[in-house]
Structure 1
Amino acid sequence: MNIYRHTFTAVCPNDAEVIVYSLEIRSPQMILVEHIKTATALIKEGYQEQIADELAERFGGDQVIKAVHQGVEIETVRLSG
């Protein structure tokens, strides 16, 4: 099992707040860190749940994204299979 953790930012389309996201991917497959960095850098704007769907489709594995938006802590989980 490989565990990858990365922090990135994206703008909320609802209120234009810059959100800091913490991503964790657990995968039996190797994922190049450059691919994770590029994929997250391409995400300029979006809702956390939609971002999670996009990253889960791209990388697979079990994923958790955490962020705080307007004082509300959000944890989004996407499980493989």
Structure 2
Amino acid sequence: MAIAGVIALCAVLLVLAFLLPRLSRHPQRGAQRAFGAGSRAGGSAPGGLGRLLSKPFRNSSRAVGRSGRAGRRARGRLPF
């Protein structure tokens, strides 16, 4: 369920970044901020458990960043 939510968020952000590159930065930052908070909360657990609990949030934050960056890059490569 959570994986589907991250995938849907990335797809929406990709389309938004392609259509409205400047306006896509705020939702991207908000999503990355939320995933960063989850990563920090999970990372506060001791030892290897902390790394294990924070990893999904880190990966989701990276996916959101890559999705927004890819949409803006594709928009920039348009010939017109």
What TM-score do you get using the length of structure 1 for normalisation? 0.30
**Larger relative CO (CA 8 A, sep 6+): 1 or 2?**
2
User: Larger C-alpha radius of gyration, 1 or 2?
Assistant: 2
